[in-house]
Amino acid sequence: MSAPAPRSPAERCRAQIAAILGAWGMAAAPAAATAEIMTWTDLCGIDSHGISLLPFYDMIRRKGQLDLRASPRLQRDNGPTALIDARCGLGHPAALQAMQLALGKAAAHGIGAVGVCNSHHFGAAGYYAALAPERGMIGLVTSSARTVAVVPTFAAEPVLGTNPIAFAAPGGRNPPILLDMATSVVAANKVRVYAGKGEPIPPGWVVDGEGRAVTDSAEALRYAMERPEGGLNPIGGTREMGSHKGYGLALMAQILAATLTGGSFSPSRPPAAPDNIGHFFLALDPAAFRPLADFTADLDAVVDTLHAARPADPERKVLVAGDPERAAHAERSANGIPLPEALRRQIRDIAEAAGVAYLLAEQ
């Protein structure tokens, strides 16, 4: 077993991300917001969508595909709905603006729906959905994806992205429900994390062009990110295990996030064209349907019943969506965020190239 990765305090990770983004040309406020979102993601244990994405952002920036100076622009505003143009900027600032706008509209109308077009990767969808319970609301977030990595049921080649879906709802006594999931068995970046550690992946995550399981993480990453055949399985893995359901969810996310907003369908996008990733943000005010206290009391009863269910393994209690992330957030807030040496070297090189201090050195 490999040694545990060294850890860095969250505040250093946050400062390192903000410094690099600022050196790349992002204004101070959106850089700070993006750093906060990425660090929250790492604190929650979602290592594939936090600071580990800096090398990827650097790559697409150098290729001229990402404009860090872009400022999102409100393109349409029609009462409870709106559309924001991210203008080829990094997705985090536009997504944050969109979710905040959707919540404001829900406060006024009971429902708010905001789309984003011309965007890039926006990190973890769960961050934006989690903003809704803070205001006593329900949040639903979906996104299309840049990378064509998911093999539809019965196909031999990838056609869809990992197209995430996140959902959050406020509790009363209990913490909010927070579901954040890719519509593939795993996100492509999770395969990248395993490849970076040199660890094998479980069978069922990735298949080759003949539908056979690939467990070598380096080879799996090539199928997920580079090769024209094979790729990630939809949720379910195989048709017998319900892969058509994951396939259908991925298609739903594509329609809401991109077809509705004018985002691209990645397999049809010309190679030199902007990514034009689309996002979708829905906010619902439970108080528009019934008293909020009644809603949260009923949701508390649901959560209590689930937590009280007899576990199959006495050592592993039944959880609800959001429990693992909250536990990880508490542990990593106290002990730091684990960063493998390979990732530290990449970030150090990026910081030096950007002309900013490297802040993650072990003490």
306-354 pLDDT, tens digit each: 999 999 999 999 999 999 999 999 999 999 999 999 999 999 999 999 9
Range among 27-36, 208-217, 228-237 with highest mean pLDDT value: 27-36
Place of tokens 């991300």: 17
Per-residue pLDDT, 189: 75
More confident residue, 329 or 203: 329
Residue 59's CB: how many other CB atoms inside 10 A? 11
Torsion-angle region of 83 (φ positive above 0: left; ψ -120 to 50: alpha; else: beta): beta
- SS3 call for 38: helix
Per-residue pLDDT, 186: 86
Per-residue pLDDT, 75: 98
**Least confident interval from 78-82, 106-110, 220-224, 257-261:** 220-224
pLDDT, mean of residues 181-199: 88
Give the model's confidence band at 197: pLDDT under 50 very low, under 70 low, under 90 confident, else very high: confident
Residue 172, class by beta-carbon neighbours within 10 Å (0-12 exposed, 13-18 middle, 19+ buried)? Answer: middle
Write out pLDDT tens, residues 37-88.
999 999 999 998 999 999 999 999 999 999 999 999 999 999 999 999 999 9
Per-residue pLDDT, 121: 96
Per-residue pLDDT, 2: 63
Query: Which CATH number does the domain 76-185+233-308 belong to among 3.30.1370.60, 3.40.50.300, 3.40.50.2300, 3.40.50.970?
Result: 3.30.1370.60
pLDDT, mean of residues 104-109: 98
Cα separation values, 98 from 135, 149, 286, Å = 15, 26, 20
Q: Which CATH class is domain 1-69+322-363?
A: mainly alpha
pLDDT, mean of residues 15-23: 98
> Is 173 a residue whose pLDDT tops 80?
yes
> Is 144 a residue whose pLDDT tops 70?
yes
> Is 363 a residue whose pLDDT tops 60?
no
0.85 cut: is pTM over it?
yes
Parallel, antiparallel or unpaired: strands 337-338 and 81-85:
unpaired
What are the extents of the domains in the chain?
Answer: 1-69+322-363, 76-185+233-308
> Is 1 a residue whose pLDDT tops 60?
no
Q: In sequence order, what are the residues at sequence separation of 6 or more whose Cβ sits closer than 8 angstroms to the Cβ of residue 129?
A: 99, 139, 140, 141, 166, 167, 168, 178, 179, 180
Write out pLDDT tens, residues 130-140.
999 999 999 99
- The rounded mean pLDDT for the chain is 95
More confident residue, 239 or 90: 90
Per-residue pLDDT, 306: 98
Say how far apart CA 20 and CA 44 lie, in whole Å: 22
> Is 165 a residue whose pLDDT tops 70?
yes
> Is 111 a residue whose pLDDT tops 70?
yes
